[in-house]
Amino acid sequence: MRDFLLVLAVFVACVVESVEALTIVLAVGVTRGWHATMRGVAAGLLSLAVIVAALGPALTVIPINALRLVVGGLLLVFGLGWLRKAILRASGFKDLHDEDAIYQRQREAAEHAEHTGLFGDSYSFTLAFKGVLLEGLEVAFIVLTFGANQHNIPLACVGAVAAIVLVTGVGIAIRAPLARVPENTLKFVVGVLLTSFGMFWGVEGAGGSWPGSDAALLGIIAFILGGALAAVAWLRRVRAEQSARARVDAEPLVVGQS
Amino acid sequence: MNRIGRSLRGFAAFWRDFIVGDDWRIAAGVIVALGLTAALAMTTVPTWWLMPIAVALLLASSLWRAVRASQR
């Protein structure tokens, strides 16, 4: 019975961590392409394997809060940037398809980095790499702490592997349907998710804690999504007022010409 | 030497664009908010409420600046 509970506890905890990593990988892969994203995943897994192999049980001394603070802060900055652009596009203040042009300009400006980099789109690579490495480290901590407490690390590994296989399978299954969602809608959702995860990890990394622990993430996502939708509604009203005013200003000219 | 300098400047510009993006105030605001959260965590006051308020203010002010810029 104790063994079953150990596997179950590790399985559930690792499902939560794997879903967090999967969300980031899917979001980045679907919106920016899979090539660099999968390289980021592979590099994250490879780094994780090297860290686990080199440190083993000493892994628990890595300052996970410092890592959460840095990763959380960066995700928050990236997420707010994505959300800002998606809100401006959804409300008509920005062209729907300007991202490709901006990205192209950045690529040209970053010629040096692109020539020396092996990873293609650095943005996708970095986000996928960080997501997989941080969540992977958390999975490793769970396996080590739960397994060491019950003197059965191999059994804890079984629970973790089962969770990762299940979540990866779900990710592969939903990849194709996700690709059919309109581009700006996806970017909007990615902005909401990156900002939410960033806020969650950032506060934990800074030494704070959320009421309800991991469950607070759902509340944070609802808060960010609600705020972003309210911002779109607000800016659409502002845009409509601007257009109405512009029409009124243009009217005498039209009458004068006829 | 000139070529190395240009490459270094290009490299720095790439990373600035990559991390900071369109509005540097968002990145600066996030750093300040995380710092305040860390400071608050050293006291007995709950910390979780500060970040949602900071994020809402940062996003709203950045959007408002973008709207005003489009009016000019």
Give the ipTM: 0.87
pLDDT, tens digit (0-9, with 9 covering 90-100), for A66-88: 878 888 888 898 889 889 989 99
CB contact under 8 A, A122 and B30: no
> Which positions ≥6 away from A222 have C-beta within 8 Å?
none
| Alpha carbon of A146: minimum distance to chain B alpha carbons (Å) | 27
Which residues of chain B does A81 touch, with a Cβ-Cβ cutoff of 8 Å?
Answer: 21-23, 26
Nearest chain A residue to B25, by CA: A77
- In the predicted structure, residue B54 carries a pLDDT above the cut 90: yes
Among chain A residues, CA nearest to B69? A93
What residues make up the domain containing A203? 2-257
Q: What's the Cα-to-Cα distance from A103 to each of A19, A110, B9, B14, B69, rounded to whole Å? A: 28, 10, 19, 11, 21
- Cα A56 to Cα A13, A51, A52, distances in angstroms: 20, 8, 5
**pTM to 2 decimal places:** 0.69
CB contact under 8 A, A110 and B51: no
The total number of structural domains in chain A stands at 1
- Residue at token pair 């609600």: A226
Shortest CA distance to A189 belongs to which of A218, A228, A217, A131? A228
Of the candidates B48, B55, B67, the beta carbon closest to that of A80 is on B55
Yes or no, beta carbons of B52 and A111 under 8 Å apart: no
pLDDT in tens, A186-199: 778 878 988 998 89
* Closest CB from A77, A111, A211 relative to B19: A77
* CB contact (8 A) between residue B37 and residue A209: no
CA distance A41 to A128: 5
Query: What residues contact A178, with CB distance under 8 A and at least 6 apart?
Result: A26, A30, A186
Cβ(A209)–Cβ(B48) under 8 Å?
Answer: yes
User: Is A203 close to B60, i.e. CB distance below 8 A?
Assistant: no
The predicted-structure confidence for A208-233, as pLDDT tens digits, reads as follows 999 998 889 889 999 999 999 999 99
In single-letter form, the type of residue at position A49 comes to A
Gap between the Cα atoms of A12 and A54, Å rounded: 27
Residue spans per domain, chain B: 22-71
What's the DSSP call for residue A150?
Answer: T
Closest-approach residue (CA) in chain A for B48: A210
Distance CA A157, CA A179 (A): 33
